[in-house]
Amino acid sequence: MNMNRSIKIIIAAIALVIIMAFIFNPFYWLMQPGQIIEQPALSSQEQLYFKELEKTYNCKSERFYYNYTKKGTDTLYEDYNKVPFEYYLSIDFPLERVIQKDSLFMIAQHVKDVILNKNKNLKSVIIYRNYDTHEYLYDVNKDALTERKD
């Protein structure tokens, strides 16, 4: 009788452990980490320029590269600058600071000319300024940036 009862307790405990495993991790076999390519480290030119921006405007800057697949989803390839790419620059200016559009255009121009060395695969430079977005499209043939108007 005691042996029969202890076997039932062991079976119930094993069943409880299995049920708890499925409750707390139901899709373990599907949650395998994928190979995510990290954003490249800032170049020395980017580091210097971002420090200059920080001194001039008392702001914080972050940069991201994006490539797009044929289906239009964003990704980042290992050779990100050898295929068409977009350069995103997020700048958090102090709220009391007024920044002219010409200054943002000059920042985009500097990124295109100095940091990216007029890379022919550049599609656009997109600057996020606090809550505003400014997109500058790059025309390789004319070597010119034009602001995209929505």
Examine the pLDDT at 35 and tell me if it is beyond 70. no
Q: Work out the pLDDT band at 31, boundaries 50, 70, 90.
A: low
Q: Give the model's pLDDT for residue 97.
A: 82
Q: Say which residue, 27 or 118, is predicted with more confidence.
A: 118
Examine the pLDDT at 100 and tell me if it is beyond 60. yes
- The residues, ordered by sequence, that sit 6+ positions from 66 with a Cβ below 8 Å of its Cβ are 74, 75, 76, 85, 86, 88
Mean pLDDT of 9-16: 91
Examine the pLDDT at 65 and tell me if it is beyond 80. yes
And the tokens for 4?
């029969």
The string of pLDDT tens digits covering residues 120-134 is 999 999 999 888 899
Q: Work out the pLDDT band at 30, boundaries 50, 70, 90.
A: low
Task: Give the number of C-alpha atoms closer than 13 A to the C-alpha of residue 129, restricted to the C-beta side.
Answer: 22
